[in-house]
Amino acid sequence: MSTLTLSSVGKVYDDGTRAVTDLNIDVGDGELLVFVGPSGCGKTTALRMVAGLETVTEGEIRIGDRVVNDIPPRDRDVAMVFQSYALYPHLSVRENIGFGLTLRKVPKVEMRKQVEEAARVLGLSDYLDRKPRNLSGGQRQRVAMGRAIVRHPQAFLMDEPLSNLDAKLRVQTRAEIARIQRDLNVTTIYVTHDQVEAMTLGHRVAVMKKGMLQQIAPPQELYDRPSNLFVAGFIGSPAMNFLASTLEKDDSGSYRVNVGAESLGVPPDVVAAHPALAGYAGKSVITGFRPEDMADASLAPGGVGRTLHCFAELVEPLGSDLMVHLTVDIPPVQGNEDVVELAKESGDTMFARAGKAALVARFNPRSPVKEQEAVLVTIDTQRLHFFDPHTGLAIRDEQKLERQEDKQ
C-alpha cells in the first residue's frame, strides 16, 4: 500500500488549453478518494496524469516516496480500471484476470492461486471458465477489477467504471467496489461525474470545476458545509435551492433575509455559527436551503419568518417523497458564475426562464399540494446557508469575510 501526493500539478495541452490548475491533494494510505465534477472539469485528466497516460506540465506527482513525473506507466505500480471493460473476448475469465501475471511469467501454480483468490473476493469463482460474452455488465467490470487486484499495485485508479451499467447494476456494483476496497485496503482514486456515486463511495470527495479544486472533504462535510455556491449546488440530489436576498438587522439585533416582499428570520444560533454575516447587514447575499429542509405548511406550520408563498409548477410522486417544483415571484439569481455553471450542468432552467426563481422541495407524500396552485412552504431556517453574491464563497467566519473583501 502507499500514499499519493499531487503538488501544484497542472496540465496545459500543446494548443494552449489548460485542463488542470494548481492541484494539491494528499491521498492517504488505504484511502478511497473520489474526484467529481461536470464533464470537462479536469478530473479524468488528473487521473491520467497519475497513471502516466498524460504528461505533467507543472508540479509533481509522488506515489509513495517516488516522484513519478517521468516514469513510464508500466513502471508506476498502479492498476487502472476503465469505463470500458477492456477484456479479451477470446479468453476466459481466468485467463483475463491472470493476463498480466502471464506477461510477467509468474509460475503457473502461483498464478492459479492469485487468480482464484481474486475471483473469491469478487464473487467470480463460479465463472472462471466462462467467456466475457456470457457475463453481465457488472460481472465483466468485476473481471476488470480482478485483473487489477492480482497485480497487488500500490494504488487503484478507476475512471468512471460504472458508466456503462444500468441503474440497478450500478447500485449493486458500487456496493461491491466499496466492499472490495475496504477489504483490500488499497489506496484508490475514483473518477465519476455522478455525485451520488461520489457521496456513497468516497472516504473523501474532491469537487472540481474548470480544472480547479473547489473543495475536498468527507462526503457529509461537503453536504453540510460547502465552501462555495458551486459545491453547494453540485453536491446533493436534487440540488440546493438559491434565492437572491438582502440581509437585514433590526434594532433588537435580530437578523432576517428579505426575499422579495417576504422575509425569513435567521435564528440566533445560526448567526453565531456564521459570524461573518455581521459584515453583510444591509447587503445582498444568496440564501440557500436544501429540498428536504422545505415542507408543506399545511402539514408543518412554520409561523412568522419561516414561510414562503410559492406556486407549484410540477408535482412528482416518488412513493416515499413528493418532489415539488416551485416558483417564487422574484427574479432568479443572476450574474454569478457558479450559478450559471450549475444551470448549464443540470439544464434546470425550465421555470427560471419565466423570470421567476425556481425551487425544488421534497415534501411528505401526504401533502395535498396540487399542480398549478399556490402553496405555502415552511423553511427550516436552522439549515440556511449564505453565500457572497460576488465571489460565491460561503459566508461563515471572519477569516472567510476578509478573503471575500480582498477579492471585491
- Phi then psi for 347, rounded to 5 degrees? 70, 15
Strands 32-36 and 187-192, by their bridges, are parallel
The count of other CB atoms within 10 Å of the CB of residue 103 is: 9
- The half-sphere exposure of 245 on its side-chain side, counting CA atoms within 13 A, is 28
Q: At what angle do helices 137-149 and 108-122 cross, to 10 degrees?
A: 140
The reported pLDDT for the residue numbered 353 is 54
Those residues whose C-beta lies under 8 Å from the C-beta of residue 105, and which sit 6 or more positions away, are none
The reported pLDDT for the residue numbered 167 is 79
Mean pLDDT taken over the chain: 89
- Over range 245-271, report the average pLDDT: 93
- Phi then psi for 87, rounded to 5 degrees? -95, 155
d(CA 402, CA 232): 21
Structure-block grid coordinates of residue 34: 473520489
**Core vs surface per residue 181-213: b (16+ CB within 10 A) or e:** beebebbbbbbbbbbebbbebbbbbbbbbbbeb
Q: 212 falls in which pLDDT band (50, 70, 90)?
A: very high
Structure-block grid coordinates of residue 278: 455581521
Query: Residue 285 belongs to what H/E stretch?
Result: strand 284-289
Q: For 180-206, what is each residue's pLDDT tens digit? A: 888 889 999 999 988 889 999 999 999
Most trustworthy range by pLDDT among 136-140, 239-243, 299-303: 239-243
Are 201 and 156 a contacting pair, CB within 8 Å?
A: no
Cα dihedral 366, 372, 375, 381, rounded to 10, equals: 90
The reported pLDDT for the residue numbered 354 is 66
Are 328 and 356 a contacting pair, CB within 8 Å?
A: yes
The reported pLDDT for the residue numbered 352 is 52
Closest CA to 326 of 299, 298, 348: 348
Q: For 88-125, what is each residue's pLDDT tens digit? A: 899 999 999 998 888 888 899 999 999 998 898 888 99
Structure-block grid coordinates of residue 118: 481474486
Q: For 340-395, what is each residue's pLDDT tens digit? A: 777 776 655 544 556 789 999 999 999 999 999 999 999 999 999 999 999 999 99
- The half-sphere exposure of 226 on its side-chain side, counting CA atoms within 13 A, is 28
- Phi then psi for 110, rounded to 5 degrees? -70, -40
Q: Does residue 407 have a pLDDT over 50?
A: no
The reported pLDDT for the residue numbered 301 is 87
- Over range 323-332, report the average pLDDT: 92
**DSSP secondary structure string for all residues of 194-224:** -HHHHHHH-SEEEEEETTEEEEEE-HHHHHH
Whole-model pTM: value is 0.87
Most trustworthy range by pLDDT among 45-49, 77-81, 132-136, 196-200: 45-49
Structure-block grid coordinates of residue 108: 503457473
The reported pLDDT for the residue numbered 400 is 45
The reported pLDDT for the residue numbered 232 is 95
Q: Does residue 221 have a pLDDT over 80?
A: yes
